[in-house]
Amino acid sequence: MPYKTQSPDTSEKFERLQFDRLRSMGPKERYARGLAMVDDGLRALWHSLERSHPDWSREQLMVEWVRIHYGDELASRYAASRQRE
């Protein structure tokens, strides 16, 4: 069976280079890189939400963030807790 990359838009050569680089890292560096990727992804999602709703306040965006990621019930509870402050 031929080699199949993890992502259809990544060449086999580049994917093998990526994996070799990951294998050469120590655990702390892999962990730090993983955290950086998660942080970058969350930041991109937040900016996408801001672009989708440019007229919303930061508070409205936060409630929507919670709704998207954790559901309506938690978003409602979060919004209610913010109103009490």
**Model confidence over 16-57: pLDDT tens digits?**
998 899 999 999 999 999 999 999 999 999 999 999 999 999
Are the C-beta atoms of 56 and 64 separated by less than 8 Å?
Answer: yes
**Same domain membership, residue 81 and residue 64:** yes
HSE of 44 in the Cβ direction (CA atoms, 13 Å)?
Answer: 6
In angstroms, the CA 83 to CA 78 distance is: 9
Q: What is the pTM of this model?
A: 0.67
- Region 2-26: mean pLDDT is 90
Residue 33 in any domain: the answer is yes
Mean pLDDT of the chain: 93
What's the chain's Rg over C-alpha atoms? 19
The boundaries of the domain holding residue 66 are: 55-85
In angstroms, the CA 40 to CA 34 distance is: 10
**Same domain membership, residue 81 and residue 70:** yes
**Same domain membership, residue 17 and residue 46:** yes
**Same domain membership, residue 82 and residue 59:** yes
Residue 24, phi then psi, degrees to nearest 5: -80, -15
